[in-house]
Amino acid sequence: MIIIVSNNNSREDGRSFDELRSFKIESSVLKRADGSAYLEMGGNKILAAVYGPRESFIKRLLKSNTGVIKCRYNMAPFSVDDRKRPGPDRRSTEISKITAEALRPALLLENFPNSMIDISIEVIEAEGGTRCAGITAAAVALADAGIPMKDIVVACAAGKVNDEIVLDLSEKEDKEGQADVPIAIMPRTNEITLLQSDGILTEDEFRQAVDLAIKGCHEISKIQKIALKKRYGESL
């Protein structure tokens, strides 16, 4: 197979600088969870499951004036090239925390005192950008669980590769690129609920990356809504 890589406006995988990887989202894929979603984005395959709001046996985590959310991001041992050691590590603990923080602003938790919403994100196959893909899938699973929300949070990264600002970095671009800026937003208002930055960018490049990631979020948001409408019809 001959792969032609043009120098202008094209990337190693043939995408243009502002192009997302191909992706699909399906909701209600699990029977036992209250809400669930399956997402593929490039080589990422991710399942998200939501339970609650419900009482928790871990009483010390509950609050009498509001609901709480607990999130667990996990990478399956077979999800990456070198088998990943099972169980939590620093990276998964960080991603679990930032995922909960990215989703929390959309949830009307004050309506659910003394209860907990449990979110599980399982990365079955990973290929760069799993934190964003996990947030996007979890937001669909929350909507699928019927949990009242201000908006459906959506996430996407942009970054710098070969001195160009590009959308939705693949694993290779993430590893070999110069910077990565994952972002989550509430698309109705463009309120940013997650903003991380890894690598070095000028102020102007940083702004370009943020704008491009927000543009990507809006594209993904449309597919989140289609996935939910397929399941629940236009009543959504």
Angstrom distance (rounded) from CA 81 to CA 184: 27
131 burial type by CB count under 10 A (0-12 exposed, 13-18 middle, 19+ buried): buried
Binding test (CB under 6 A) with ligand UDP, winner from 74, 96, 115, 130 = 130
- φ, ψ for residue 48, nearest 5 deg: -125, 135
Rule CB under 6 A: say whether 83 interacts with ligand UDP. Answer: no
**Nearest-approach distance from CB 75 to ligand UDP, in angstroms:** 6
Residues 6+ apart with CB under 8 A from 145: 33, 34, 35, 50, 51, 52, 117
Residue 73: strand, helix, or coil: strand
**Nearest-approach distance from CB 36 to ligand UDP, in angstroms:** 20
Number of residues that bind ligand UDP (CB under 6 A): 11
Applying CB under 6 A, the span of 12-20, 26-34, 108-116, 126-134 interacting with ligand UDP comes to 126-134
Binding test (CB under 6 A) with ligand UDP, winner from 11, 45, 84, 160 = 84
Binding test (CB under 6 A) with ligand UDP, winner from 76, 80, 149, 195 = 80
Torsion of CA 187, 191, 194, 196, to 10 degrees: 110
Residue 91: strand, helix, or coil: helix
Angstrom distance (rounded) from CA 52 to CA 33: 9
**Nearest-approach distance from CB 185 to ligand UDP, in angstroms:** 16
Site for ligand UDP in 157-176 (CB under 6 A): 171, 174
Binding test (CB under 6 A) with ligand UDP, winner from 129, 159, 177, 187 = 129
Contact, 84 vs 131, CB < 8 A?
no
Applying CB under 6 A, the span of 49-57, 124-132, 160-168, 186-194 interacting with ligand UDP comes to 124-132
Closest to ligand UDP by CB, 55 or 94: 94
Contacts to ligand UDP by CB under 6 A: 80, 84, 91, 126-131, 171, 174
